[in-house]
Structure 1
């Protein structure tokens, strides 16, 4: 379509259209490589912690021992939320979705802390601390509140991931379980310009406060085309029910052109590197705490898919094994996406800071397809046929 001096190329969903420069995350989808700030996801999952990885994403470099100690201490000190936030959450309907509760709660933090002083380094640092610290507390709080219980206060003697599992399940987690959960958070912390991260950058470009930025990202993540796929994977595995049914299920789904949950990714043409790590974490969980029969169904389905789907570049993605790990950790199924948000807030904040560094408000164009040159008609002369 022509627009005077140049041709406009329309790409639905902005697919393949670069909209910003970024030094945060690099994805090589052809070879299955993912890195944060140049560090491979394999190395980070094996050697780092979530808070150390969050620091890397947001500030650009791995912290020194002193910087990491101070960062962890600040996050620990700000885990608690105001009683006013808790009272607000008690007014939410128990039947409400946890993602809606999280979006409202995250936005409410702006009432307490926002001064839109984004030109002040201390304000930026404090906002990062508060959001990373308080998001897990609010997720766990709503889980207990909707069950008619009072939220559990954070424990200062527990590390970040162990503390969340404690607040959620009301018991101190096994150290191995806490470490596996921490590694899961690392794997989900960042993944380039997906829908929620793009939403965060668009909101950030208006120079609003970071609490609104995170709330907008949570709202975007709540959509079924972005978050919640690992919930659907578990439902699919339960429908298949046994390994010997995997081949028939897959054959029928392919014939009916039905989406296979947990398979395929817009970025990857090989197995998602995060899926490989999560599969290993699932096996660690089962070795320690007992096997999940649905894991055998999952591996059988992956084997069958290697001949039917791999030729099309369709392999397991990050959602295929994560639900099995979360279920074994005692996380309710409808909290899988809020847990994703606990992790991804690190990536959202990294993109918020990067956007502020070279900001220009997002204002894409459009191709108008509506009616033109219409004559005004008085209301008494209008008919339904006129709008047909």
Structure 2
């Protein structure tokens, strides 16, 4: 029977930093499992000993390693400060998860202190009204972030408590500055005053059912952080230079919109829009394969055997809209992708599925992703503020 040792022991045996162990895990060099307490990472003693005998892996692509306590990645899901993100998605509101990422302590209430600065929100709404119609929400979020930062006299307070307070003001202000999806706005029912309910009113012209709101809440939780994703790395570099939280978030938003990151959900939305009925799925996928294009919403660079976040969210989507006509098209796409033995669906596809059955405005998946990930960016920024050293990468001559 294999024996398992903790990260400290494994790192000492290999002569590396604990963070390097997780780089080995992401590259498939070592296996990792959670301890019985759900918090500790355990490593196979036999694999560690074998690696120690062989020496450090060579001929691997260079990988930046940053020590962090915010999020670790398991075989098919992330763990936020040691807690399974899927379990949090079942039991916690987004606000509570954001507080957990920022402070390591549970929130005292789902909406405590989550309000934008009135002056900043008024200025951001005025800026939104001056923008042309038809902009995607991600573009509007970038504009509001700039305006909210410019009007916040507390933006340069970089201690943890102040950054957390800025995060609450910023997320609430961003949502409240977005135009309503319906005119007049839909009336918010009981339990819809939190981040999920307020965001829904900006993205969907119809009021949510409890199951739809639960699916959106889960999506926000599942997307709140994902270790050193591209946007998070960019946000950490900005924070290491002591950029203020608004500049950190603006940096993250700029990277998030790329089609290989958060923009993949928008590409998946457009893919589903092409599948006007289930019978078109085979043709739509075949055309993309013929053009040499990737299938958005499928496959993951970390979760090679499937993204548990996507499966979890897709189950909630199906439960929220049983019998919905778009579900058959969604299933038909996945069936065709699997017939071709392509990778499994990820959370970007599930997010596109949620927006498809909910009737949200175009680009809503990106907006959900962006609002959620602000929590993670600021948690990582806090670590960089505390370190006080500049992240400076070096180039290798070619």
Q: Which TM-score band applies after superposition, normalised by the shorter structure?
A: 0.7 to 0.9
Q: Specify the alignment match of 1:3 in structure 2.
A: none
Aligned length: 340
How far did 1:133 drift? 1.7
Deviations 1:213-235 (A, max 9, x none): 11111111122232222232233
Q: Secondary structure at the match of 1:261?
A: coil
Contact between 1:76 and 1:156, CA under 8 Å: does it hold in 2?
no
Within the alignment, does 1:280 sit opposite 2:315 as a pair?
yes
Compared with structure 1, are the counterparts of its residues 119 and 316 closer, same or farther at alpha carbon in structure 2 (3 Å cutoff)? closer
Task: Tell me the secondary structure at the aligned position of residue 114 of structure 2.
Answer: helix
One of 283, 291, 305 as aligned partner of 2:324: 291
Structure 1, 71-80 or 253-262: larger mean CA deviation: 71-80
2:375 equivalent in structure 1: 346
Q: Does 1:130 align with 2:174?
A: no
Structure 2: unaligned runs, 5 residues or longer: 1-57
> Would the aligned equivalents of 1:76 and 1:160 in 2 still touch at CA under 8 Å?
no
Q: How far is 1:152 from its partner?
A: 8.9
Residue number among 99, 109, 112 corresponding to 2:138 in the alignment: 99
Q: CA deviation at 1:248?
A: 5.7
Residue of structure 1 equivalent to 2:64: 18
Task: After TM superposition, list the pairs within 5 Å mapping 1:35-74 onto structure 2.
Answer: 35-61=79-105, 63=106, 67-69=107-109, 72-74=111-113
1:100·1:219 contact (CA, 8 Å) conserved in 2? no
Hey, what does 1:266 align to over in structure 2? 301
Aligned to 2:213: 178
Distance 1:282 1:169, change over 3 A: closer
Q: 2:335 aligned with 1:300, yes or no?
A: no
Larger radius of gyration: 1
Q: In 1, distance between residues paired with 2:265 and 2:354?
A: 10
The reply on whether 1:337 has 2:337 as its aligned counterpart is no
Deviations 1:268-315 (A, max 9, x none): 11111111112101111212xx5133x2233233234335335xxx22
Structure-2 separation of matches of 1:170 and 1:301: 26
Cα separation, partners in 2 of 1:164 and 1:233, compared to 1, 3 Å: closer
Q: Taking structure 1 as reference, are residues 105 and 253 closer, same or farther at Cα in structure 2, changes over 3 Å only?
A: closer
Distance 2:66 2:381 in 1: 12
Q: TM-score, normalised to structure 1's length?
A: 0.77
> Cα distance, 1:190 vs. partner?
0.9
CA distance in structure 2 between the aligned counterparts of 1:337 and 1:319, rounded to whole angstroms = 9
In the alignment, the residues of structure 2 paired with residue 173 and residue 55 of structure 1 have an alpha-carbon distance, to the nearest angstrom, of 25
1:79–1:154 CA contact under 8 A, matched in 2:
no
Alpha-carbon distance, 1:17 to partner: 0.9
Gaps of 5+ in 1: 1-8, 370-388
Distance 1:77 1:218, change over 3 A: closer
- Indicate conservation of the 8 Å contact 1:137/1:154, yes or no: no
